[in-house]
Amino acid sequence: MRLPPEIRTDRLVLRPWREQDAAALCPILETNFDHLGPWIPARVSTPAPVPELERRLAGFASDFAGDREWRYALHSRDDEGEQLLGEAALFPRSATQRVPFSEADRVELGYWIRRDATGQGFIGEASRALVALAASIGEFSCVEIRCDARNAPSAAIPRRLGFGLARTIESPSVTPDAPAVQLQVWSLELASLRDAAR
């Protein structure tokens, strides 16, 4: 694995998904589908029984270990113990699509969080940690965030982190049979972060 198996920030622990996370994830997906479904792919947002979620998360874990994509489960760190909040992930990319790491020249940052944890800065905190991690991987020239132009809370994250809006493209909706959407592509060059770290 190129990425660490655990990242700690002030309030969060980020770990690759594990099968045993399915029991905690199941009620989150069930109660947040209307919150998440319009914005993230069905294979991530769709509720399912725990055994099916275990298989889904085992696939995510395998992809992480194989450097195909790096999905971290977000857990809060507080006096009440850890609670599952959502996900922050990195996906190797070319200019046009997600690709194997060996073909990537950039990386895409994606994220989601359950409704009752929004507005508390958790996604910004996790995203800053993953941007710093991406900067440590020399093959990546930039980090991109792609979000539906209608999803204002999601678009606020790259603005806060210093990304620039590179372009807006037409893209298929994540919802089957829905019309195409305007997808914003936000970009942050990593060279300046690397220079600052030297």
pLDDT in tens, 87-102: 999 999 999 999 999 9
User: What's the CATH code of the domain at 70?
Assistant: 3.40.630.30
The answer as to whether 121 is a domain residue is yes
pLDDT in tens, 31-56: 999 999 999 998 899 999 999 999 99
How many structural domains comprise the chain? 1
180 DSSP assignment: P
- Give the pLDDT of residue 197: 67
The answer as to whether 139 is a domain residue is yes
- Give the pLDDT of residue 192: 79
Residues with pLDDT less than 50, the chain: none
- Give the pLDDT of residue 1: 61
- Give the pLDDT of residue 167: 96
3-state helix, strand, coil in the chain (%, to 5): 35, 30, 35
Q: How far apart are CA 21 and CA 97, in angstroms?
A: 29
The answer as to whether 54 is a domain residue is yes
Q: For residue 86, what are the CA distances in angstroms to 66, 75, 116?
A: 22, 7, 11
The answer as to whether 47 is a domain residue is yes
The answer as to whether 13 is a domain residue is yes
The answer as to whether 182 is a domain residue is no
